[in-house]
Amino acid sequence: MDAYLLEFANMLLRWLHVIAAIAWIGESIYFVMLDNGLKTPKDEACRKKGVFGEMWAVHGGGFYHNQKYATSPEKLPDDLHWSFWKSYTTWLSGFALFALLYMANPSFYLVNPNSPWEWAANMTGWQANVMALVFLLGGWVVYNELCKRISPNMERDGVLSIAVAVMMVVVAYLSVHIFSGRAAFLLTGAVMATAMSANVFFWIIPGQRRMVKALKAGETPNPIDGKRGKQRSVHNTYFTLPVVLLMISNHYSFLYAHELAWVLMVLFIFAGALIRQFFVLMHSGQIKPAYPAAGVVLILISIWIGAPASSPAGEVVEGEGPAIEEVAAIINDRCVTCHSREPSHPSFAAAPAGVAYDSETSILNGAAQIRQVVASNYMPLGNMTQMTDEEREVIAAWRD
């Protein structure tokens, strides 16, 4: 019953997280599109009122006229639309989900017993939890300091972009070498998501509140608040596509179980940013196919790097190698504790990701994935069932 309630809470939290993320990212992408798609108003009266740009649009059977003011409008209404609760709800629900699934069982999900760094491989559960929190906080601190020191007046954003890109390479490398595969991808995405939400909480909304306060007091807002808010919003929009991929990566073991997982992660992060750049420019009337083309090239490179090694011709001869019965016996001893229609492990009410190996047929259907995750030492998680090296060799030599 406890495992069932845990799974149900997991589902509800995940649902909330996805709903909030869709609302936040959708609104963010819309305003980036709106900002880049503005055109100089043709009406002289609008220009005199301080309208910087406008957009006419049709949607849902109605017509819309959006205007952006370069200076303060003549009258500022009290019922301004603010965009922040979607951001906060996304981060809070995501962190709650991480705590429920990963931090509640850190030895199982966070610790990387195969880390080349002895101190990481030997972390206890509470140490792994502390390290995960330090990772999230440290990622935000480093990113924020880069923004403040490299481009404090938003005049060196190109250099800042390169610095943030280098930072993400370092984050990807460290995460894969410190934490287990799925947790590494998730935490790298969480570093970016934390920076996105923190940008809203610490910079964008406070700056907008100061601007509104100044306007209502009849004062001229500090232009740096508007510039900084725009800078951080632009960063957020480039983070969106990579973050979404990293958050769904736990379904794909060929990513997080690969020996060069951090390289695959970096390639997808850069590919997502390049593809997003195409749409950002497209909204301002610039069609630059080189950006999505470069993104696709990076994805193709990741496919090439991540492809499983082919067995040399003639290596496997019919009748040689372990029989399915021998492999099934190992899987029954080491894997079916969790991967069963009715798991005996107390943490699961159902087979993780719906993957069950209760029969030889199901084992044959999942042969490629079994070999991959066993060969990489990713499964069993934390080797909690004590699979031996000899058993791993049997599975590696088995051909379905």
Confidence band of 320 (pLDDT split at 50, 70, 90): low
Most confident listed range (107-121, 141-155, 336-350): 141-155
Q: Which two tokens stand for residue 261?
A: 């997982």
Is a pLDDT exceeding 60 seen at residue 20?
yes
**Tokens 């504790």, residue?**
337
Please state, rounded to an integer, the average pLDDT across all residues of the chain.
Answer: 88
Contact of 258 with 303, CB cutoff 8 Å: no
pLDDT of residue 83: 86
Say if residues 37 and 176 touch (Cβ distance below 8 Å): no
- Under 8 Å between Cβ of 256 and 182: yes
**How many residues belong to the chain?**
400
* Mean pLDDT, rounded, for 196-210: 95
Amino acid at 29: I
Could you tell me the pLDDT band of residue 165, with boundaries at 50, 70 and 90?
very high
200 secondary structure, DSSP code:
I
Confidence band for 219, pLDDT divided at 50, 70 and 90: confident
> Is residue 309 within 8 Å of residue 327, measured between CB atoms?
no
pLDDT mean over 235-244: 95
Residues 50 and 71: beta-carbon distance below 8 Å: yes
pLDDT at residue 400, as a whole number: 59
Render the burial of 231-266: b for 16+ CB within 10 Å, e for the rest: bbbbbbbbbbbbbbbbbebbeebbbbbbeebbbbbb
Instruction: Say whether pLDDT at 49 is over 90.
Output: no
- pLDDT of 167 higher than 80: yes
pLDDT for residue 347 = 66
pLDDT at 316 over 50: no
Mean pLDDT (whole number) for 267-280: 96
Closest C-alpha among 146, 149, 132 to residue 235: 146
pLDDT at 363: 86
Rounded to whole angstroms, how far apart are CA atoms 371 and 396? 6
Torsion of CA 280, 25, 97, 263, to 10 degrees: -10
Contacts of 143 (CB under 8 A, 6+ apart): 164, 167, 191, 195
Residue 19's pLDDT band, with cuts at 50, 70 and 90, is very high
pTM greater than the 0.85 cutoff: no
- Does the pLDDT of residue 63 top 90, yes or no? yes
Cα gap 357→210, rounded to integer Å: 59
The gap between the terminal CA atoms of the chain, to the nearest Å, is 37
Inform me whether the pLDDT recorded for 1 exceeds 80: no
